[in-house]
Amino acid sequence: MGTYNKGINGPFSGKTGSIIGSRWRGVNYIKGFSRTYKNKGKPSEEQVLHYKKFKLLNEFFIPIKKVVEVGFGNYLRKATARNIAFQQNFDHAFSLDENNEPHLNYSLIQFSKGTLFTAGAEKLEIVKPGQIKVTWNPKTYGLGGSLDDQVHILCYTASSDLFDSPDTTPLRYQAEATVRYEALEGECIHVWLFLSDSQKKRVSPTKYLSITNNQ
């Protein structure tokens, strides 16, 4: 057991892993305890599948944490954005191959949940090798949207395992945006977009688009 001074976040108390923090008579203490491990036997097929799905989703969402925080920002009082993203996608955003191996079903992945209306008439076009154009209807029709709503766009290809977005976040009234991409010949380019108001307090559902790279 040892004593320690307060860190930038104040004294540590409670239990984290094998470390216990406590305070007695004005002195802060930390101590460790040995861990014991029980052999729980071989995991079931369901547990293995659960782990594989968790790993796939976790690795997929890590690079786009900020986008997920916008898309599920209305629920941050209940849980972290990452946890909400898992809840929205874990049960339905996968397909299984003939060997019962899970794969992400990109068309079903959701990056947002809300009541703001989507733009409508969303389309994709390859304007030149390595660049696509996303277009949408800029009109709001008085349905609670605004011309300055932000359009959050993600472009992804499995071969590069990279996400790309426009250099600046486009607005609803602009009706289009270009995005760079990396893809193999004949590969599917996956694109998702959703809208938020200028304060990022209201968001729309996610719209999925795809196009084949034949350039």
Distance CA 202, CA 199 (A): 8
Q: Kindly give, in sequence order, each residue whose CB lies less than 8 Å from that of residue 72, ignoring residues fewer than 6 positions away.
A: 81, 84, 85, 88, 112, 113
Please report which confidence band the pLDDT of residue 25 belongs to, taking 50, 70 and 90 as the band edges: very low
Q: How confident is the model at residue 2 (pLDDT cuts 50, 70, 90)?
A: very low
Per-residue pLDDT reduced to its tens digit, 171-192? 999 999 999 999 999 999 999 9
pLDDT for position 199? 93
- Averaged pLDDT, 124-145: 90
Q: What is the pLDDT of residues 68-112, one digit of tens each?
A: 999 998 887 778 888 899 999 999 999 999 999 999 999 999 999
What is the average pLDDT across 147-163? 95
Going from the C-alpha of 46 to that of each of 90, 141, 178, the distances in angstroms are: 14, 47, 42
Rounded-to-integer distance, Cα 115 and Cα 153, Å = 18
- Which residue carries 């996608």 as its tokens? 89
- Structure-block tokens of residue 43: 């995991």
Q: Residue 140: exposed, middle, or buried by beta-carbon count in 10 A (0-12, 13-18, 19+)?
A: middle
User: 């688009």: which residue's tokens?
Assistant: 209
Predicted pLDDT at 79? 82
pLDDT tens figures, 32-50: 555 554 556 888 989 999 9
Question: What are the tens digits of pLDDT across the range 189-212?
Answer: 999 999 999 999 999 999 999 999
Q: Buried b vs exposed e over 8-47: b needs ≥16 C-beta within 10 Å?
A: eeeebeeeeeeebeeeeeeebbbeeeeeeeeeeeeeeeee
Q: Name every residue whose Cβ is closer than 8 Å to that of residue 76 and which is 6 or more positions away in sequence.
A: 69, 84
Distance CA 100, CA 84 (A): 26
| Domains parsed from the chain with CATH numbers | 2-32 (no CATH), 45-212 (2.60.40.10)
Cβ-contact 124, 134 below 8 angstroms:
yes
pLDDT value for 145:
84
Q: Measure the CA dihedral 207/121/200/158, to 10°.
A: 30
